[in-house]
């Protein structure tokens, strides 16, 4: 158990819908990262937050957005969902957002039908 | 472009045999290197990491990896495979200080045959 929690574990929805994925980092970690794992693209970095502020942005679609709240939990919002958004979405956390270990949650498996 | 290459999407070894999973990265500057393991329907678990110092790094479950700057490689090894080692292994790199998102390789699925 990494100490990073993600909810829900599974999500099934339809094209065009909007969903919210939630992540709680390890106690004491200030930085949260979101990654997407799909069969064709592999593991790709989406976005990073540090203490409530966006720090880095990767291959995140404009239909996707995220935020980190004062209690440090983070939410990833996916809207206008397409079939190709079906993937495993991981949240990771680290202490300071520098070059240290990132600890991964169990992931949210999203299926868009 | 910065990239991480894992040679072999699938490696199969016999129980008790040597495990060798290859990872190469594209960078002339020594990066920060990680190996993660993913068991079915689970998240990623850190096996080991290299940041600075000794180039031979020991991790959990008997795994180790050696950073070779001249070869831009960070291959993962284990002297004797166990059935419980069957999983997907990912090499990941932070390419420069201050640029902290991980860049992952495509992964290598390890099968262990009894």
List pLDDT tens digits, range A3-54: 999 999 999 999 999 999 999 999 999 999 999 999 888 999 999 999 999 9
List the 1-20 stretch of A: residues with Cβ below 8 A of B. Answer: 2, 4
Q: For residue range A82-99, what is the model confidence (pLDDT) as tens digits?
A: 999 999 999 999 987 676
- Comparing alpha-carbon positions, the chain A residue that sits nearest to B34 is A101
> Taking CB atoms and an 8 Å limit, are B46 and A98 in contact across chains?
no
Whether A24 has its CB under 8 Å from any CB of chain B: the answer is no
Name the minimum distance, in Å, from the CA of B16 to any CA of chain A.
28
What pLDDT score does B40 carry?
87
> Residues B29-40: what's their mean pLDDT?
90
| Beta-carbon separation of A98 and B103 below 8 A | no
State the pLDDT confidence band at B99, using cuts at 50, 70 and 90: low
Residues B22, B62, B69: CA angle, nearest 5 degrees = 40
Structure tokens at B21: 């999973």
Question: Which residues in chain B have Cβ-Cβ distances shorter than 8 Å to A49?
Answer: none
Disruptive mutation site among B33, B101, B109 for chain A (greatest number of A CBs within 10 Å): B101
Longest dimension (CA), chain A: 38
In whole angstroms, give the CA distance from residue B25 to residue B4.
Answer: 4
CA distance A40 to chain B (A): 9
**Rounded Cα distance, B45 and A107, in Å:** 12
Which residues from B are below 8 Å from A97, CB to CB? 100
Instruction: Please name the residue of chain B whose CA is at the shortest distance from the CA of residue A46.
Output: B101
CA B76 to chain centre: 5
Question: What 8-state DSSP symbol labels residue A85?
Answer: G
B71, B81 Cβ separation under 8 angstroms: no
The DSSP symbol for B96 reads: B
3-state helix, strand, coil split of chain B in percent (to 5) is 5, 50, 45
Asked if pLDDT for residue B51 goes beyond 90, the answer is no
Report d(CA B45, CA B34) in Å as an integer: 10
Backbone dihedral angles phi then psi of residue A32, each to the nearest 5 degrees: -125, 140
What separation in angstroms does the CA of B39 have from each of A76, A82, B26, B28, B90? 24, 28, 27, 32, 11
How far CA B113 is from CA of A79, B82, B101, in Å, comes to 44, 9, 35
Q: Which residue of B has its CA nearest to A39?
A: B106
Tokens of A93: 């956390």
């Amino acid at each position: 158990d990494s100490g990073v929690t993600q909810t829900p574990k599974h999500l099934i929805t339809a094209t065009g819908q909007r969903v919210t994925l939630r992540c709680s980092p390890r106690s004491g970690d200030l930085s949260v990262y979101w990654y997407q794992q799909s069969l064709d693209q592999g593991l790709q970095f989406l976005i990073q937050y540090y203490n409530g502020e966006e720090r880095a942005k990767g291959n995140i679609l404009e239909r996707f957005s995220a935020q980190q709240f004062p209690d440090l939990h983070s939410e990833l919002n996916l809207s206008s969902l397409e079939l190709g958004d079906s993937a495993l979405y991981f949240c990771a956390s680290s202490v300071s957002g520098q070059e240290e270990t990132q600890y991964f949650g169990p992931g949210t498996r999203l299926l868009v039908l | 472009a910065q990239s991480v290459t894992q040679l072999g999407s699938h490696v199969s070894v016999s129980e008790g045999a040597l495990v060798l999973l290859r990872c190469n990265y594209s960078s002339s500057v020594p990066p920060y290197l990680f190996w993660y393991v993913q068991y079915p329907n689970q998240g990623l678990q850190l096996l080991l990491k290299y940041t600075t110092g000794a180039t031979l790094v020991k991790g959990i479950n008997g795994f180790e990896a050696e950073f070779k700057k001249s070869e831009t490689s960070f291959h993962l090894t284990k002297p004797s495979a166990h059935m419980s080692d069957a999983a997907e292994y990912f090499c990941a790199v932070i390419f420069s200080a201050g640029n902290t998102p991980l860049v992952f390789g495509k992964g290598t699925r390890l099968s262990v045959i009894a």
